[in-house]
């Protein structure tokens, strides 16, 4: 009696879909780079917004102080002080300069941050006709 062996092929099963480890690592790397870029840009935007806010408030308060100075005493315009109580860290100085070739004077009103490491400064100018 002879034995017959029959080999039958099993039907092929479809490959299960999925990602390889390399594809997952590449996707995570790209995602992390994009996230770092977004964090950096938003951080820069926030610091720029804070700087603009400081300059806006300093100019607004400085302009009000300049108008008060012009109304109070036009003879003694070279003065200094602070923007206390709103911004006590900001010091202001006013100085008169002669205009070249024109009648009148230029009043320079400088606002400087006296505390902190940034050394921020804003200059306002006003022309006084004679």
Cα 88 to Cα 92: distance, rounded to the nearest angstrom? 10
For the chain, the domains span: 23-128
Checking if the pLDDT of 106 tops 80, the result is yes
What pLDDT was estimated at residue 28? Answer: 96
| HSE of 101, CA atoms in CB hemisphere, 13 A | 0
Q: Name the burial class of residue 94, with classes exposed (0-12), middle (13-18) and buried (19+) by CB atoms within 10 angstroms of its CB.
A: buried
pLDDT per residue as tens digits for the range 49-74: 988 888 899 999 999 999 998 898 77
- What is the pLDDT averaged over residues 7-21? 76
């Amino acid at each position: 009696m002879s034995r017959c062996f029959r080999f039958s092929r099993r039907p092929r099963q479809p490959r299960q879909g999925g990602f390889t480890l390399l594809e997952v690592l590449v996707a995570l790397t790209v995602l992390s780079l994009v996230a770092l870029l977004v964090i950096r840009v938003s951080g820069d935007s926030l610091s720029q917004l804070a700087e603009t806010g400081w300059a806006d408030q300093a100019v607004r308060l400085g302009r009000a102080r300049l108008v008060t100075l012009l109304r109070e005493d036009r003879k003694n315009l070279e003065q200094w002080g602070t923007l206390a109580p709103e911004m006590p860290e900001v010091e202001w100085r006013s100085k008169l300069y002669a205009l070249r070739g024109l009648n009148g004077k230029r009043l320079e009103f400088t606002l400087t941050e006296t505390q902190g490491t940034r050394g921020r400064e804003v200059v306002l100018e006003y022309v006084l006709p004679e």
